[in-house]
Amino acid sequence: MEDFKLIAFKCPTCDSGLGVEVNDNVVYCSSCGNGFEIVDDKLVPIEVNFAKPLLPGQGEVIYRPFWLVNSYVKINSRDATGGWVSNLFGGNSNATEGNVLFYVPAFWMTIESAKIIGSQFTIKNPVASPQKYNVKMTGFNFSKDDAKKITEFIFLSIEAEKKDTVRSIDYDIKINNIQVLGIPFYKMPNNRYKDAVLGIEVQ
């Protein structure tokens, strides 16, 4: 039974106990607000912040983690019929490069849900000033390495939703840093979760 591991960590900053779900690879100390990534059973600091619930909803608010992937995207060329409009670079539809903050779900959901919520949050960037909250957050299912792949997937999803057909595209995504953002969700009667920032349901 060596593969079952329940780990009891203490926060290196304030000595509080940290609850860690099996498979969680990031922990957040709700006492002092510091976050840590578990790398080879060691705690490595990572910035963790939270979004404020903006939309009313029923039931308890629970926080679920996203990776905030701060990137520089450069579209080198694309073979497309007709014009295209970019949603990625701060409203400048002619831009082909710039900083993009990708919102990448870190908790388990279907790939279709990840595409929808990841694209909408990335296009709208609705959490300009995340804050420290004294709340619990667990459920890290997608690792930082997964986040890099999902970032690319979200980028391509945003491109593919344009009216014209993007036949081929040549691009570079340079990742500058990755932080963690807790997004508030409501648990719905149908067992889906709906976020309290943009109101998108995931399953």
Tell me which residue of 118, 82, 76 sits closest to 100, measured CA to CA. 118
Q: Judge contact between 76 and 171, C-beta under 8 A.
A: yes
- Minimal distance in Å, beta carbon 13 to Zn ion? 5
Minimum distance, C-beta of residue 32 to Zn ion, in the bound complex (Å): 3
What is the closest distance, in whole angstroms, from the C-beta atom of residue 134 to Zn ion in the complex? 11
**In the bound complex, what is the minimum distance in angstroms from residue 94's beta carbon to Zn ion?**
46
User: Nearer Cβ to Zn ion, position 96 or 179?
Assistant: 179
Give the contacts of 77 (CB within 8 A, at least 6 positions apart).
169, 170
**Binding flags for Zn ion, 15-54, as an x/- string (CB under 5 A):** -x------------x-xx----------------------
Give the position of tokens 């500058």: 176
Residue 162 CA to residue 178 CA, distance in Å, equals: 27
Which residues are CB-neighbours of 72 under 8 A, at least 6 positions away? Answer: 97, 98, 99, 100, 173, 174, 176
Nearest CB to Zn ion, comparing residues 29 and 75: 29
- Is 13 one of the binding residues for Zn ion (CB under 5 A)? yes
CB 90 within 8 A of CB 193: no
Output the six-digit token pair for 25. Answer: 């690879």
Q: Which is nearer to Zn ion, 17 or 199 (CB)?
A: 17
Task: Count the Cβ atoms, other than its own, within 10 Å of residue 165.
Answer: 11
Asked if residue 14 binds Zn ion (CB under 5 A), the reply is: yes
Q: Which is nearer to Zn ion, 13 or 87 (CB)?
A: 13
Minimum distance, C-beta of residue 30 to Zn ion, in the bound complex (Å):
8
Residues that bind Zn ion (CB under 5 A): 11, 13-14, 16, 29, 31-32
